[in-house]
Structure 1
Amino acid sequence: MSGAPAFDEFIAIDWSGQAIARPPGLAVARAVPGRSAPRLVREGERWSRQQILDWLLDLAKAGRRALIGLDLSPAFPYLDQRGYFPGWRESPPDARALWERVDSICAADPHLAATSFVAHPVAGGHFRRHRLPSPFEGPGRFRLCEQRQFSHKLRPSSCFNLIGAAQVGKSSLTGMRVLHRLGGRIPVWPFDSVPEAGPVIVEIYTTIAARAGGVTGGSKVKDAVSLDKALGKLASNRHARLTSYTDHNTDAMITAAWMRIAAGETALWHPQGLEQVAQTEGWTFGAG
């Protein structure tokens, strides 16, 4: 792929690692080319992770030319210590093997949760967990693309942190289960090349989209006026009124609008340093 690919729709999925059937943090928004505002898919309904997996498989069957953003980390840091889990003989060698390992260990966990991986006697020891000694000092380990985000004054959280409001580890683990169960039916960039036709999945960080929409200071959009203001900065018309203005719904909508613009920026598909981590850590789309 030498330039920026073209898409017929832009889908942003706000994710959740909560170990329940229908986490309130799951939201799906879709935008189409032009200026029309993104719309929530199945607004007012609670998604399950399995439903989102099934919905993605339907998109794959239909062959829709969709850019699909998942708000989760598809892999753990690897480059910094030349491995995901140093000292574990079964530490996977690349992202696809990691997805398989996580899904296998968590096979008995309901709702595509990842409780068993966190509790694993060896792998689990690499996470910062409640009431247990921390395996690292400071904020933790970070992927190359996350280190790049720090240089742009963003504040990503380590995937190995499972404590506090900023913890993202369980979201990443549950997302890996979904990616494994997709079985390659939708390519995942940059582990796969962007196909000439059909859908492709990228990792998104909704804070990047929010910043582009003028939302600053870590604040969340939870009302119609603020949502329209952010959408306007992203070349989008005003939205149709929602039944609920949760930050999950608005994050998904703002990110879908941002993806519609960002997808055409060739440089975002060729970030410096990607070749070092394309098969192990992956990359956050937009973390230039």
Structure 2
Amino acid sequence: MNLERFANFLAIDWSGAAGERQRGIAVALCSAGREAPAPVRPGHVWSRTEVLSYLRDDLPPDTLVGMDLGISLPFTDVGAFFPGWSESPTDARSLWAMVDRMADEDAHLAVNAFIDHPEIARHFRRHGGRCGDRFGIGRGRMRRTEHAQEAMGCRPYSNFNLVGAAQVGKSSLSGMRVLHRLTGHIAVWPIDPLPPSGSVICEIYTTIAAITAGRSASRSKIRTGEDLDTALAALDSAPFGHTGAIDDHSSDALLTAAWLRRAAPDPTLWHPKSLTPEIAASEGWTFGAR
């Protein structure tokens, strides 16, 4: 497999917040080489459906796409997404289909109807002090890839958590609706094997990119152009050249696009030691988690 085959690298800082347009969504692109990453449609406030359309219709060829969300829910810890429920999906693609089907009437790729289902709600921690009896303890159930993230110094939270600044549940579930609607258009690693050509989507965790660029997990957020350029230089990228303050959604996307370019040729990142076929099909993996 030629791991230097990708011509472009796209990073998406995602959002599951309510509403049509999200300032928390940032999209950045760079090509092979050393050129600086750049925002896609600078100044534009993206909607989730616009990102879906871009990935389906406007994505440059041979692009490695990183989406900052969880592409699945924990499975292997108890052998099911929703243990004890006869309708629990058996793999990630079946989960995506269920989320999209059950939330079909939710506008803007929201997922309220899915998490409101009485059996599914038992597994989520929600606002208003509502915590399902199957949520688990502490930060909740984790996927194997999140345990690998912890070993790298990160502090991931369960995709079953919908509360607080660290919550990733709604962004992950809304992202699953996007992934389902891209079925047949683009491969999603490692749910799909890495194809020899064409574009590929993978899950990213922007903190891993920041750590690789010399920052700590606790200082992963970059809020000035000067700090961004320092981090980009550590990834052998030309500077973005912004002066002064920058929002961390934009800096996350810009830095992670450059990190994807540097990381993609590393075969060990495509074959992490804990990734089994069962985990690949059910939970997926975070690219860069070892």
Residue by residue, what CA displacement relative to the aligned partner does 1:172-227 show, whole Å, maximum 9, x if unpaired?
A: 10000000111221000011112222101010000000111122242321111111
Residue by residue, what CA displacement relative to the aligned partner does 1:206-257 show, whole Å, maximum 9, x if unpaired?
A: 0000111122242321111111111111101111438972100000000001
Distance 1:66 1:52 in 2: 15
1:283 alignment counterpart: 285
1:229 alignment counterpart: 230
- In structure 1, stretches of 5+ residues that fail to align are none
1:51 alignment counterpart: 50
1:176 alignment counterpart: 176
State whether residues 6 and 263 of structure 1, in contact with CA within 8 Å, keep that contact through their aligned partners in structure 2: no
Counterpart check, 1:121 vs 2:122: no
Residue by residue, what CA displacement relative to the aligned partner does 1:134-153 show, whole Å, maximum 9, x if unpaired?
A: 53221111101111111122
Query: 1:111 offset after TM fit, Å?
Result: 0.4
State whether residues 203 and 285 of structure 2, in contact with CA within 8 Å, keep that contact through their aligned partners in structure 1: yes
1:89 alignment counterpart: 86
State whether residues 80 and 88 of structure 2, in contact with CA within 8 Å, keep that contact through their aligned partners in structure 1: yes
State the SS of the aligned residue for 2:11: strand
State the SS of the aligned residue for 1:253: helix
1:273 alignment counterpart: 274
- In structure 2, stretches of 5+ residues that fail to align are none
Distance 1:180 1:262 in 2: 26
State the SS of the aligned residue for 1:31: strand
State whether residues 225 and 244 of structure 2, in contact with CA within 8 Å, keep that contact through their aligned partners in structure 1: no
Q: 1:117 to 1:212 in 2, by over 3 A?
A: same
One-letter identity of the residue aligned with 1:211: I
State the SS of the aligned residue for 1:218: helix
State the SS of the aligned residue for 2:27: strand
Give the TM-score normalised by the residue count of structure 2.
Answer: 0.94
1:1-288 to 2 correspondences below 5 Å: 1=1, 4-59=3-58, 64-130=61-127, 131-134=129-132, 135-219=135-219, 220-241=221-242, 245-275=246-276, 276-288=278-290
One-letter identity of the residue aligned with 2:28: A
Q: CA RMSD for the aligned pairs?
A: 1.5
Distance 1:108 1:89 in 2: 24
Query: 1:273 offset after TM fit, Å?
Result: 2.4
Give the TM-score normalised by the residue count of structure 1.
Answer: 0.95
